[in-house]
């Protein structure tokens, strides 16, 4: 196996050294963005193109999707590992920051007011989405608000390098990110993007709704029907795409999100607090365990959410299915609760 990998690396080095193109420039018709030149490796031997796993990936793209192999060789030869991507992936605030601190980034007066303005400017599209997909407009707006502050913060790093780093230098989730890298390259070809020109988050999420490439391909919609899906510049497309995503993942029209709950014996239900991402327990069972709703409730199954609302206090909710649908967008209870709290704040602006 080691001999085969050594031969593969030797062949790759030979191919890249003999390509005939200046490593510090790109042909105008290469299909590769010149932005990759900004942080390119000093030498091809320091680039991803010499990675044997990348070569296997390139071969598979060529075989399965008839992708231009030379274009991929050229693109991977102009990028190297991006360490900050790995660092951020290991230190996500959704996982390490208590809710009472986490929410201060998103549930704010300014973000609620901006959400109200965004809703006013896009009333036509929000009403249309609410009718067609059954998702409340405040939830759509709040989700866009939490993701990118209504399109103000969509990410500044090229998606290609970020996804490649996570696909080949982040073993914990390499399979997922290799599939997203594959989806990105297919999307770039479908949309006519130069590889590397698309900017996004450190994890490769794109546009004002921060769709990963696979979701962009499957669930993004041309809501303004101008013949082109644009999740950066079209607020209509963003609204329709968020609504389509939530509906696809099971959003229940006109269903509440959660009710406040009292937990009389936390140690008795410690294994049930923040367990899984599904509403799977009926109210009678919760009552027998000492978990009691403090508001009027629906006679359907719920899941028990517990978040720290101050340094000393833990607050509990019984969450309906829609709460967990938000978690399909981002698998963090802190995130889902922030989206829904912001939605309430935006609704308060609309009602005043």
The single-letter DSSP state of residue 252 is P
Distance CA 74, CA 14 (A): 13
Give, for 258, the enclosing helix (H) or strand (E): strand 258-263
273 contacts 304 by C-beta, under 8 angstroms: yes
Burial 72-94 (b: 16+ CB within 10 A, else e): bbbbbbbbbbbeebbeebeeeee
Given the residues 73, 130, 136, 147, select the one marked as catalytic. Answer: 147
Q: In the numeric block, which tokens belong to residue 99?
A: 């809710």
Max distance between CA atoms of the chain, in angstroms, equals 74
First to last CA, the chain: 69
Burial class (CB in 10 A: 0-12, 13-18, 19+), 201: buried
Does residue 121 carry a catalytic annotation? no
Angstrom distance (rounded) from CA 266 to CA 246: 32
Helix (H, G, I), strand (E, B) or coil at 176: helix
Yes or no: say if 137 and 129 are a contact pair by the CB < 8 Å rule.
Answer: yes
Strand order in the sheet with 291-293: 291-293, 258-263, 314-319, 303-308
Whole-angstrom Cα distance, residue 150 to residue 167?
Answer: 29
Kindly state the helix (H) or strand (E) to which residue 30 belongs, with its residue range: none
d(CA 51, CA 8): 9
Cβ atoms of 119 and 137 within 8 Å: the answer is yes
Partners of residue 308 on adjacent β-strands:
314
Please give the positions annotated as active site: 147
């Amino acid at each position: 196996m080691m001999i085969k990998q050594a031969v593969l690396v030797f062949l790759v080095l030979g191919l890249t050294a003999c390509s005939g193109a200046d490593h510090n420039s790109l042909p105008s018709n290469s299909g590769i963005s010149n932005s990759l030149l900004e942080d390119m490796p000093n030498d091809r031997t320091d680039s991803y193109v010499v990675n044997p796993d990348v070569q296997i990936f390139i071969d598979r793209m060529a075989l399965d999707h008839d992708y231009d192999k030379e274009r991929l060789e050229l693109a991977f030869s102009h990028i190297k590992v991006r360490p900050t991507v790995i660092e951020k992936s290991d230190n996500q605030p959704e996982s390490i920051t208590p809710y009472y601190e986490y929410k201060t980034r998103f549930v704010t007066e300014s973000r609620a007011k901006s959400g109200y303005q965004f809703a006013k400017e896009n009333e036509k599209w929000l009403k249309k989405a609410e009718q067609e997909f059954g998702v409340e407009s405040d939830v759509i707006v709040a989700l866009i608000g939490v993701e990118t502050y209504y399109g103000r913060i969509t990410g500044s790093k090229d998606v290609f390098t970020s996804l490649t780093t996570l696909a080949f230098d982040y073993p914990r989730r390499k399979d997922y990110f290799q599939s997203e890298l594959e989806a990105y390259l297919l999307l770039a070809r479908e949309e006519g993007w130069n590889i590397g020109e698309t900017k996004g988050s450190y994890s490769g999420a794109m546009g004002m709704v921060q769709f990963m490439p696979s979701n962009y391909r499957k669930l993004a919609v041309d809501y303004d029907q101008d013949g082109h899906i644009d999740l950066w510049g079209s607020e209509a497309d963003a609204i329709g795409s968020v609504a389509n995503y939530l509906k696809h993942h099971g959003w229940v029209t006109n269903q509440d999100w959660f009710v406040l709950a009292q937990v009389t014996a936390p140690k008795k239900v410690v294994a049930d607090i923040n367990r899984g991402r599904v509403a799977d327990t009926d109210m009678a069972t919760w009552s027998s365990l000492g978990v009691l709703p403090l508001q009027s409730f629906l006679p359907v199954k719920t899941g028990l959410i517990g978040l720290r609302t101050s340094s000393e206090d833990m607050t509990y909710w019984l969450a309906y299915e829609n709460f967990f649908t938000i978690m399909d967008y981002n698998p963090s209870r802190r995130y889902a609760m922030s989206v829904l709290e912001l939605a309430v704040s935006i609704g308060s602006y609309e009602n005043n």
